[in-house]
Structure 1
Amino acid sequence: MQDVSKELISTPFTSLSDQETLLQEAHRRKIIEHVPLIVALFIIAVTGIIGNILTISFYGYRVKRTPTFVMIKLLAIIDLIVCFLIFTTIADLCINIKFTSTILCKWMYFLDHWFMHTSVMILWIISIHRYRRICRPVGRQFTVKSATVAVILSTVFSIIYCSHIFIIYDPVKVNISTSDVAISEVIGHYCTNTDDPNLKDVLVTFHAIDVVSVSFCFITFLFTYGNIWRTVRRHNRKAETIQTAPSSLPPRQRTLPFKHIAIQISNASTKEHFSTDQFTSQLQSDYTTDSFSKPDTGSVETPATIERGTLHTSTRKIKKSSQSSTRVTRERKITLMMFAVTVALVICFTPYFIASVGIRAVSATTEDELNTGMELALSFPFLNSVINPIIFCVFNSKYRGFVKKKIIRC
């Protein structure tokens, strides 16, 4: 009797019910393994939804409509949708090795890629807009209408670009190790790059296109913000030179402001076909030549009239200079804020592309892809949609006050 029982114990499990039981056990084990990531993604999703709703409320209804603010509002709308899509990723982590629906697999990843790609495109457009505002102030600029159209076109382009997801993503089989000695592995399914041999070349081609497009965006960011930094630095040096130039002039000739050469350059944006360097040279000549000379002795104006006119003109110029100074300071803060958002984008998307285009393409359909570290890297872009409202709050004091009021009300 004992020999018979030992033989039954040592008999391998071969029935489908035994394999299903082991698959359920492996499924529960994966869920337990992913619990910290699931909780983190849930907190990120809720935080991002609240933050982006506040961003839409502020930049959509509480500030003056400018091209940059309109694009920030549209970016917040896209980020809000991405935050809702985090819940589909949470569902994917809960299903994990039992994901067998082809339609859900394709649509889930298509929506994720579509809105994330649109977010990148909006920041790409904003970087070009900031470059033209700072480095090409006398050229054609974005308007509210053209900025909106550009975002709509980028959204349509993202739909076309991400349509390849319907080709290269599928539920694939994967061998899952078990704790049973008789059946060391069971077959599970999860949504990832297709393992169809006929689509191998297509998969490699689209991965190459992804690498090229991402590299192009990163190069654009380096070019635009690098030139903005150089332009601001050059203007600051010119401002210091012009500020110290009139020190040898008589006191009466020092009434005009010499600070903020970048302010005067920004005012030149209304002058067509007039370069920044030409305008700077003109300012230098105006400050150091006959613009400070005394009125013509043949004039019929009395000294008192001349003095009042000079004082009125000087006061008006100082007031205009103060307004321009505020405007330029605001433009630079906005540029710095969008640069910080772009840096956050690069940081959040880099692990994703390393995991998706690199490791995932090489080790697809293996159990290693289902570990928490890989899932975390693939979920990193979601963090960017949550960080953006925090960056806006840090760099914009008015938005920070708006958020505080909402929190106090709650």
Structure 2
Amino acid sequence: MDNDTDMSYKLDKWNSDLARGLIPNNVILSLYIITGFMGNSIVILIYGFKMKGNKEERYFIPFLATADLWASLVCASFGIALNLMQAQFNNTHLCKAWWFFAAFTTFCSASILLIIAVHRYLKVCRPLEGQMTLKWKRFALCLALALAFTLSVPMTHFYGSVPFPNEEEGIVGQRCSRLKSTNKTGSLIFGGIFVLVTVVVIISLISLYSRIGYTIITHFKYPKRTAKPKSNIDTAGNSTTADNSQVVHSSSDNQLSETETGMHSVETDNTELSGVVQSTASTEKTSGVKRTPNSTMNGKAIVFKSSAKRRKEQTNKKVVHKFTLLFMLITVIFLVCYIPKVIIMLLEARNPRFWEEFSDFARPGILFVYRMYIINSITNPIIYAFLDNQFSTEMKKMVRICK
């Protein structure tokens, strides 16, 4: 009995020493929880309920914020629990459940980022082809949930409470980590599938956004020039020549604008079209030139493509490109935060004693790098605040109301 009491005392002391060395990590994880909860809650509130009008460019943001909210809460709280019970995590069912939810939320976030990349690719690089309708967007989100669930379920089989020996003190604790007693072949297969999915996601994100970035750079470097309509018509022949060139530009630009942004004002076009009739009649009276049906239709096309409409289209293109750059930045941060975790998980799978071989001094640094992926879930609201003017405006309104 005295021996058991002594062993228990040594185990408690060892666990306390390990937890004390991880206090800075707990402080950082607590900040992750606070920042992730507040930031993503504001994003969900503003994008989901406050913003009115066309939400085409912002459709996926509330769903991504929801995944990031749960990821920051679950993963950061799980990390604190692991830090406090480095050698005394005896509840294997709680360990399995925590691993499942941590994996599920992170996989959801990664899957939604991939969907967003495909959505941006279609809008920027394939504007005249089929786009993601509301039905396909919902289907893609359901598919992301199903994929995340499928990849997370095996975590309950390969992770749990494992022995954590202290050879110097002659004691053995329990920590929540990858199980050493599971089938090695099955573990390697799961690890291979996990690595394959991760590599596919990373390569897909890099490939899609590389193409998107090239298209945007090309657009700004070589902008399309749109001819301005002429107000004075000298002869019917000159009018036809100028109008035909303008019709080509009008048709091309109209298709691009409507496909890219999904916004097209019929009322504005009718107003502009009515102005064509008056302008044409006035010109015929003053100049005495008889307008043919073809030249009249060409004149309509000229005024139909007014300077105000062109400015609107250019603004819409800038909105598309701005949101594309926003999502590109989010994806870059995702890759920077997740790649170290994947590398450490691969090393952990190859070496069953990976965590045991680190000293108490080196372990906090490795754990910080291992949990850097949580940063991805708390930085997105900051990016929105700096790059989305409408989000910044709504957030300022909320601050003034709270005061």
TM-score by length of 2: 0.79
> Please, which moves more after superposition, 146-155 or 386-395?
146-155
Superposed displacement of residue 218, structure 1: 1.1
Who is 2:53 aligned against? 64
Who is 2:106 aligned against? 116
Who is 1:390 aligned against? 382
CA distance 1:89–1:300, shift in 2 (3 Å): same
**1:219 aligns to 2:213 (yes or no):** no
CA distance 1:190–1:68, shift in 2 (3 Å): farther
CA distance 1:18–1:137, shift in 2 (3 Å): same
Task: Identify which of 303, 306, 329 aligns with 1:340.
Answer: 329
Deviations 1:41-60 (A, max 9, x none): 10111111111011111111
Instruction: Provide the rounded CA distance (Å) in 1 between the counterparts of 2:301 and 2:252.
Output: 24
Deviations 1:184-222 (A, max 9, x none): 3310110111101x5112111111111111111111112
Who is 1:404 aligned against? 396
> Please, which moves more after superposition, 81-90 or 213-222?
81-90
**1:202 aligns to 2:186 (yes or no):** yes
Who is 1:321 aligned against? 310
Who is 1:31 aligned against? 19
Letter in 2 for 1:133: K
Who is 1:96 aligned against? 86
2:36/2:69 contact within 8 Å kept? yes
Q: Note the residue ranges of structure 1 that are not aligned, 5 or more in a row.
A: 1-12, 179-183, 245-249, 271-294
Who is 1:289 aligned against? none
Q: Note the residue ranges of structure 2 that are not aligned, 5 or more in a row.
A: 229-233, 261-279
Task: Output aligned runs, 1:3-402, within 5 Å.
Answer: 15-61=3-49, 62-64=51-53, 66-85=55-74, 86-176=76-166, 184-196=169-181, 198-239=182-223, 266-267=256-257, 269=259, 302-303=286-287, 313-314=302-303, 316-359=305-348, 361-364=350-353, 366-368=355-357, 371-402=363-394
Deviations 1:289-317 (A, max 9, x none): xxxxxx9xxx9665389899969944852
Instruction: Provide the rounded CA distance (Å) in 1 between the counterparts of 2:209 and 2:301.
Output: 40
Superposed displacement of residue 243, structure 1: 7.7
Letter in 2 for 1:235: H
1:242/1:258 contact within 8 Å kept? no
State the secondary structure of the residue aligned to 2:176.
strand
> Please, which moves more after superposition, 104-113 or 17-26?
17-26
Superposed displacement of residue 144, structure 1: 2.8
Letter in 2 for 1:376: F
CA distance 1:243–1:15, shift in 2 (3 Å): farther
Who is 2:265 aligned against? none
2:57/2:320 contact within 8 Å kept? no
For the aligned residue pairs, the C-alpha RMSD in angstroms reads 3.5
Superposed displacement of residue 234, structure 1: 3.3
Superposed displacement of residue 330, structure 1: 0.3
1:67/1:147 contact within 8 Å kept? no
Instruction: Provide the rounded CA distance (Å) in 2 between the counterparts of 1:92 and 1:406.
Output: 37
Superposed displacement of residue 264, structure 1: 5.1
TM-score by length of 1: 0.78
1:30/1:96 contact within 8 Å kept? yes
CA distance 1:176–1:405, shift in 2 (3 Å): farther
1:71/1:148 contact within 8 Å kept? no
Report how many residues are paired: 361
